[in-house]
């Protein structure tokens, strides 16, 4: 039994000079690991959601740069650095909404610019990718402590929480963002049950969050995405706790489609709403959520489940992957560097200014 303080599962590993990803499309029925030795395969795995979750996508892309650099250098020891930029661009285009992807690629570009001549450049780039991975896990534990402290400071007769999508070890380097706070809160006795949305159309809550929490023996109840309002009306929910794929300068949050629904319901019922994400998720170049590019995916994800069609032929489908929750619906944004309560431009700017000074 793995305690809630440890990683119950791992989704990203570097071993045998290759990147290995746990194929999250197969969970929970099968645990299948895929080996990646070519950057094209890494790009495809990000696009096809073998790996998903903003921090995990960023970490995967960082390892993808290592693989790309190795391949380019093997082709031409003189021009590999210049040619590597095309591979970095391919990685950047794999998923457009999760800003952690671009942050991680910028970190790898910076490491590339600082390569020393007295050591193998691939070793140096791999060191940077592993650092990004390691720091993400440390950030998740910090967010767990800070988020549970916010919860401890607010009294509520209800001890149930709702979460949406998957924000745990599978979506990060380990431990989790929103699920990291939930794990910490459970360990401290602040909650007694997690209600996990199924999260259509990819079922991340049903397949991944329920699986992770069950592994940690944290009481979890799976529900349809439309049940949240009923639970809130019954007085069983104290917090909605979710992750984020991008946060703008004013505190607006892009997250898995359905998050905005929960925020509106929480505001109506007096339930508190918490977003948990590392500072790498903030995009200070965007002034509000209206500026966030929202990924649109194909109709097959909505009209069928695992190849079994449920909808009529030729039906029109609208399938945005994310929605935007306005800052005024959010009680707290928890990061590894601190907490912004009732987020706005001033609060977010203050947090990020402090972050840049460290």
What domains appear along the chain, each with residue ranges and CATH number?
12-136 (1.20.120.420), 143-357 (3.40.50.10470)
Report H helices in the chain.
Answer: 39-47, 54-75, 80-92, 99-113, 121-152, 178-187, 204, 210-215, 228-233, 259-269, 300-303, 345-357
Least confident of 4-8, 279-283, 352-356: 4-8
pLDDT of 3 reads 37
Residue of higher predicted confidence among 320 and 9 = 320
pLDDT in tens, 125-144: 999 999 999 999 999 999 99
pLDDT of 130 reads 98
Burial 42-65 (b: 16+ CB within 10 A, else e): bbebbeebbbbbbbbbbbbbbbbb
- Are 54 and 277 contacting, i.e. CB atoms less than 8 angstroms apart? yes
Angle between helix 54-75 and helix 99-113 axes, rounded to 10 deg: 40
* Average pLDDT score over the chain: 94
Q: Cα separation of 204 and 36, whole Å?
A: 23
Catalytic pick among 136, 245, 252, 283? 245
pLDDT in tens, 268-306: 999 999 999 999 999 999 999 999 999 999 999 999 998
Given a cut of 80, whether residue 2 has pLDDT beyond it is no
pTM over 0.95: no
Q: What is the largest CA-CA distance in the chain?
A: 67
Given a cut of 80, whether residue 35 has pLDDT beyond it is yes
Q: Cα separation of 238 and 217, whole Å?
A: 21
Whether residue 245 lies in the annotated active site = yes
- Are 101 and 92 contacting, i.e. CB atoms less than 8 angstroms apart? yes
User: How many CB atoms neighbour CB 111 within 10 A?
Assistant: 21
Percent above pLDDT 90 for the chain: 91
**Residue 122 DSSP SS3:** helix
Tell me the sheet residues that pair with 242: 275
């Amino acid at each position: 039994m793995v305690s809630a303080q440890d990683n119950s599962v791992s989704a990203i590993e570097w071993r045998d000079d290759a990147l290995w990803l746990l194929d999250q499309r197969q969970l929970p029925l099968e645990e299948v690991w895929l080996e990646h030795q070519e950057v094209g395969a890494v790009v495809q795995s990000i696009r096809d959601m073998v790996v998903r979750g903003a921090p995990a996508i960023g970490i995967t892309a960082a390892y993808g740069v290592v693989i790309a650099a190795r391949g380019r250098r093997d082709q031409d020891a003189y021009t590999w650095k210049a040619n590597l930029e095309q591979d970095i661009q391919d990685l950047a285009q794999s998923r457009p909404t999760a800003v952690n992807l671009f942050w991680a690629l910028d970190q790898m570009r910076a490491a590339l610019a600082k390569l020393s001549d007295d050591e193998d450049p691939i070793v140096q780039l791999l060191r940077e990718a592993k650092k990004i991975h390691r720091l993400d896990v440390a950030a998740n534990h910090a967010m767990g402590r800070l988020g549970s402290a916010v919860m401890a400071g607010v009294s509520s007769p209800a001890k149930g929480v709702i979460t949406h999508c998957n924000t745990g070890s599978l979506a990060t380097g380990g431990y989790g963002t929103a699920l990291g706070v939930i794990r910490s809160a459970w360990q401290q006795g602040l909650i007694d049950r997690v209600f996990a949305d199924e999260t259509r159309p990819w079922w991340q809550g049903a397949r991944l969050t329920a699986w992770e929490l069950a592994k940690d023996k944290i009481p979890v109840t799976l529900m349809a995405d439309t049940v949240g309002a009923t639970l809130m009306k019954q007085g069983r929910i104290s917090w909605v706790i979710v992750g984020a794929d991008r946060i703008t300068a004013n505190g607006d949050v892009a997250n898995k489609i359905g998050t905005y629904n929960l925020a509106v319901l929480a505001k109506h019922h007096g339930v508190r709403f918490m977003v948990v994400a590392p500072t790498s998720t903030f995009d200070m170049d965007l002034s509000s959520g209206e500026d966030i590019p929202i990924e649109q995916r194909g109709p097959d994800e909505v009209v069928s489940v695992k190849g079994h069609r449920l909808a009529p032929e030729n039906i029109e489908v609208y399938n945005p992957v994310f929605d935007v929750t306005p800052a005024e619906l959010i009680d707290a944004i928890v990061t590894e560097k601190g907490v912004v309560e009732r987020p706005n431009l001033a609060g977010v700017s203050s947090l990020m200014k402090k972050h840049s000074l460290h």
